[in-house]
Amino acid sequence: MDPHAKIYVAGHRGLAGGAILRSLQAAGYDHFVLRTHAELDLTDQGAVEAFFAAEQPEYVFLAAAKVGGIQANASYPAEFLRDNLAIQTNVIHSAWLHGVKKLQFLGSSCIYPKFAPQPMPESCLLTGELEPTNEWYAIAKIAGIKMCQAYRRQYGFDAIALMPTNLYGPGDNFNLETSHVLPALIRKFHDAKHRDDAQVVMWGTGTPRREFLHVDDLGAAAVFLMQHYSGEDFVNVGIGDDVTIREVAEIIRDVVGFKGEIVQDLSKPDGTPRKLMDVNRLNALGWRARIGLREGIEQTYQWFKESAGSRRD
């Protein structure tokens, strides 16, 4: 990409989109076209079409999505399916229609079967049943991958897809009703410390294993792949290592400085037993994650404490 090329980052105020924008700026790119949700509703086909016709961006990073954890997926299945299908369909089609040179679509590790082989290679997509607690979101993201592949095959559109693992970091959502597990635990331990509570409740058994990628690593990988990769096959983006939910809870307890105990709520679901990415394809292209889990949690908690006015809680 030319440093002065016109770049549209869809979802630039979100966790992933914000990190991609920061990485682009750090790499010297300086010509961006950005819209907030209030300025451009990506579920509105006519509005998206008009935006691309007027702005004519050269490159597109599609990081906009309706996202959330187990509780949000269970509560709003229609919205998770409908809104994400609409967003990606409108953006990918309009990008192709108006001559975008290259588009990058961000998916999610939840696209993989519930009992996928571990670590999960890209080849295991559509080889088994999905995890029921997030199948609505997963089906939408699978459709996005296939849309990128279909537009490449039929129209020669240079659309690539990335599948990030569980993301966390500055700009995350710390709302206990809608957040993912790591920011939810940060919020729980922080609040419990300030209330001087004796314990923090952790959903489920704590035994499921999860891989956590700092969002600034995701941003760096997204820019790297936009610069260096063009192919129909999607690419896993992760660190290739995982921890149990109990282990990440104990790291967060230590970072926050909470002195109480962790108790289990066994009435709550565990979700998928394990979700570890096979990142051999990404590593072979020449990129590896750099931010360790404890370091990343320390950075995220510092941001959480300093950013009360901008947290989505």
For residue 165, being part of any structural domain is answered with yes
Residue 54 domain boundaries: 7-306
For residue 311, being part of any structural domain is answered with no
Task: State how far the alpha carbon of 162 is from the alpha carbons of 19, 54, 105, 303, in Å.
Answer: 15, 27, 6, 26
For residue 2, being part of any structural domain is answered with no
Q: How many domains does the chain have?
A: 1
pLDDT tens digit string along 222-241? 999 999 999 999 999 999 99
pLDDT tens digit string along 184-215? 999 999 999 999 999 999 989 999 999 999 99
pLDDT tens digit string along 92-145? 999 999 999 999 999 999 899 988 999 999 999 999 999 888 899 999 999 999
Q: Does the annotation list 30 as a binding residue?
A: no
Q: Does the annotation list 165 as a binding residue?
A: yes
Residue 270 has pLDDT above 90, yes or no: no
Q: Using omega within 30 degrees of 0 as the cis cutoff, is the peptide bond preceding 119 cis?
A: yes
Q: Is 29 a catalytic residue?
A: no
For residue 110, being part of any structural domain is answered with yes
- What is the per-residue pLDDT for 44? 98
pLDDT tens digit string along 21-42? 999 999 999 999 999 999 999 9
For residue 312, being part of any structural domain is answered with no
For residue 89, being part of any structural domain is answered with yes
For residue 56, being part of any structural domain is answered with yes
Residue 309 has pLDDT above 70, yes or no: no
Average pLDDT, the chain: 95
Catalytic residue among 8, 59, 112, 137: 137
Q: Does the annotation list 12 as a binding residue?
A: yes
User: Predicted confidence band at 311 (pLDDT cuts at 50, 70, 90)?
Assistant: low
Mean pLDDT of 75-104: 97
Model pTM greater than 0.85?
A: yes
- What is the per-residue pLDDT for 273? 84
Q: Does the annotation list 167 as a binding residue?
A: yes
User: Predicted confidence band at 310 (pLDDT cuts at 50, 70, 90)?
Assistant: low
Tokens of 214: 């700092």
Q: Does the annotation list 141 as a binding residue?
A: yes
Tokens of 239: 């660190």
Mean pLDDT of 277-291: 97
Task: State how far the alpha carbon of 48 is from the alpha carbons of 35, 37, 78, 203, 272, in Å.
Answer: 11, 11, 21, 39, 35
For residue 313, being part of any structural domain is answered with no
Domain of residue 148, CATH code: 3.40.50.720
